[in-house]
A and B are shown apart, each in its own frame.
Chain A
């Protein structure tokens, strides 16, 4: 049974389309009022999982609980969910008001109650002036707001968002992102949000579930996922520019563990191992922003290298160079931009790095 305070509980859920397994014995507990983001590349099963929660896809195995009630075989309308779609999915022949009230009219709710709920939703979303317009006469941002309103008026426990901002341009996307965050703070509803955009995931989520191949790779707070990814996939998927990966060997000598790649030797005395490691091939990963440029010799690891490419991005600058024989990037502030070909010193603390075994890619 679902624990107290759990809003959505997914237990051993599997979904197969014929011989293709899309979701594999997946477990997920979402707490009351929590904002969960399902993040992953396309085809990872994140939208499929959301559709299963909504009841729009029949699952092959497992159970789904919402508010402690087993809804595995319930109709979507009986699950206490509202859903917002990427393409807005507004009914084109109805006015905004009719769009908002459609579900309520189907459910046979009294007219004055419908009017009250629409007024409240329209006020929260600031779409009062649009109520008598048809969807075709609205901008993308307005349409998505109406789509959110349609979930809002149904007075549901759980909101499901299926890439709601993907069809909007960059500026609107960041505006609406903040609005969704404010909406969540105001309503305190449980929200499950599907996206492939890591910025949306990092900014909105209480917890992120990173998915790949129908399996949740890591379910944690955004900072934990960013700083301590459980495997190489999660490490590489989050962060732009991507994390630096160096392939080499894990070795032990008199002074403790170290990582060796060609002539580079990185001491690992500050690194927090998950468990006692074994010597052998491994991957060393460190994010570009955790590497310092020309900042003295106080770091556990320092090296010098020739700058190959400099990419100024306005707010900061990407510097490409070679560490040993492998590509390495670091992100520096715009003020201390080096020149091409200049020899620089770099330094970092392996405490902020991640080590993965080379076969399975799991964190060591």
Chain B
């Protein structure tokens, strides 16, 4: 139990855990203090007088620009961006991956290469052209425009993920379903979908956290009243007028990070299993 090896191992783990937990501790503690207490400067000391005022303010009263209804506006914007983006991108990518893995159509390899190359093009190159495209089709600044952008940028990695997963399934299953008379959609919906829960969980986690945490696309392709939560958080924290309300800023930051955190906690085990399953064949 207390062998040298164990002491080193657990010692290292404890140090690393502290390193990552300390900032979170400071944030939680600070968000529960009032401003006078913060000014004392003891950032590691627990709050003498616990107050939830900063949390309420961050959620419903903090000002960004002319709007003073707090982060709640950004939260709902983010929900309205994330949910359709996740559903749309996964729905399309899973069918892509299935078609690439099972229906070796003519030019499938070329198509796949093009898609993968897409994953390596830096986003910055495409930002301005996409602004123009969205403007031309009249979606610039709207939530649906951003949903489309997120869905497209999620496509390469998600398609790869699904293709690899479906490739690892026995091909005879697919052949048996064809002999049984099921078509493209029949096989996808009735045979493949029920067998691929783990990979869907992985895709959902990747997309929810990725899209929720996105800042760049949010700030470029939306307007102030449709800003996602991350952009709004930035605007609250970085506002230059008046006193810096550290407790509100900390509460706002935790609120914004809560969604990905919850997703990880709920599905951590499934996530690891799915990643392993998708990585078997390349």
Which residues of A come within 8 Å of B, CB atoms?
A: 51, 54-56, 75-77, 81-83, 85-93, 102-103, 106-107, 150, 154, 162
Contacts and interface: CB of A to CB of B under 8 A. Distances in A.
A150 B175 CA distance: 13
Interface of B: 170, 172-173, 175-182, 186, 190-191, 194-195
B185 to A, nearest CB: 11
Given A77-B179, A106-B186, A85 B191 contact: no
Contacts of B170: 87, 89
A91 B186 contact: no
B176 A89 contact: yes
Contacts of B177: 91, 102
Contacts of B191: 91
Contacts of A82: 179
Nearest to B173: A89
Contacts of B194: 93
Which 6 pairs between the two chains have the least Cβ-Cβ distance? A77-B181, A103-B180, A89-B172, A89-B176, A85-B172, A93-B194
B34 to A, nearest CB: 56
A64 B42 CA distance: 85
Contacts of B176: 83, 85, 89-91, 150
Contacts, number: 58
A106 B195 contact: no
Contact of A103 (B172, B173, B179): B179
B195 A93 contact: yes
Given A89-B172, A89-B173, A56 B181 contact: no
A106 B175 contact: no
Contact of B179 (A81, A86, A88, A91): A81
Contacts of B178: 55-56, 75-77
Contacts of A76: 178-179, 181
A271 B54 CA distance: 106
B181 A91 contact: no
23 contacts: A56-B179, A77-B179, A77-B180, A81-B179, A83-B175, A85-B175, A85-B176, A87-B170, A87-B172, A88-B172, A89-B170, A89-B172, A90-B176, A91-B173, A92-B195, A93-B194, A102-B180, A102-B190, A103-B179, A103-B181, A107-B181, A150-B176, A162-B172
A102 B181 CA distance: 9
A89 B175 contact: yes
B183 to A, nearest CB: 8
A75 B194 CA distance: 24
A56 B175 contact: yes
A90 B179 CA distance: 12
A112 B115 CA distance: 48
Contacts of B190: 102
B180 A106 contact: yes
B171 to A, nearest CB: 9
Contacts of A107: 181
B193 to A, nearest CB: 9
Contact of A83 (B173, B179, B186): B179
Nearest to B197: A93
A33 B190 CA distance: 34
B98 to A, nearest CB: 16
Nearest to A92: B195
Contacts of A162: 172
